[in-house]
Amino acid sequence: MKLTIFAASGGIGRLAVQQAVAAGHEVTAAVRDPAKVTWDEVRTVAVDLSRPDPDALSEALAGADAVLSGLGAATKADFGVAERGTRAICEAMRATGVRRIVVISAAPIGTVPSPGRPNPPRHDPGDAFMQRSVAYPIVKAILKKRYADLARMEDVLRASSLDWTALRPPRLNDKALTRRYRTEVGRNVRGGGIISRADVAHCMLEILDDPATFRQTVGLSD
C-alpha cells in the first residue's frame, strides 16, 4: 500500500514510518523538516501544516492509497494546528481522490465540547470511575487548549465524506512494541490507562483496511 504519513518525525509518526517500511508499504513522509527523516526507503515532502500549502499537500498525496496523521500541538505556539492542518489534508485528499485517513486524537476527547458537538456526553462508557471523576477532569483542565484543538479536528473529520478513523489513546509511553493491546470502536477501552507509542503506530496500520473502523472513533489501551 502507498501511504502518506503526516507529522512523520513526531513521536508516533516516526514509529509509523518505521513499521510501515518494515511491513513493505511504500511511504511518503510529509514533514516540516525533511532532514529529520533518515530512512533511505522513504520519499519525503516538505509540508508545514501550520501554514498549509495546497501544492505541497498535493505532492505529498500523489499516488497515495491512505493517509496516517500524528498531527498535534507540540508547543503553545502550535495550538490550532490539528484542526487547521487536518482541514487542509482533508481538502487535499478530496482533490486528489484519496479516501482513507487515520489520525491520532486522545481518550478524553469524547467528552470535550466543540462547535460540532456542543453538548457531548459527560462520560465515555469505557471510562472507569477514577478516570471520569479524577484523572480526566484534571488532564482536561491542564491540556484544555490542546484538547479543544483535537475536538475541532474530529469535527472536521465528521463533516467530511472521507473514510476516517480517529484513534483515542490514553497516556502514552515509549516502551517497546508489544502488539498486545485492546481496541473498542466508538468508546474508550474499559480499564485502559496507558499504551506505548509503538503500539499506537501499529494500530494505525492494522486498521487501515478494516471497514468497521470507518467514520468511527476507536479507543485503545494496553
Please count the other Cβ atoms lying within 10 Å of the Cβ belonging to residue 43. 18
And the C-alpha cell for 152? Answer: 475541532
pLDDT tens for residues 29-45? 999 988 888 888 899 99
* Residue ranges of domains in the chain: 2-221
pTM: 0.94
156 in helix, strand or coil?
A: helix
Fold of 2-221: Rossmann fold (3.40.50)
Helix axes 144-159, 81-96, angle to 10 degrees: 20
The answer to whether residue 128 scores a pLDDT higher than 80 is no
pLDDT tens for residues 139-154? 888 888 999 999 999 9
- Residue 203's φ and ψ, nearest 5 degrees, are -65, -40
The answer to whether residue 80 scores a pLDDT higher than 90 is no
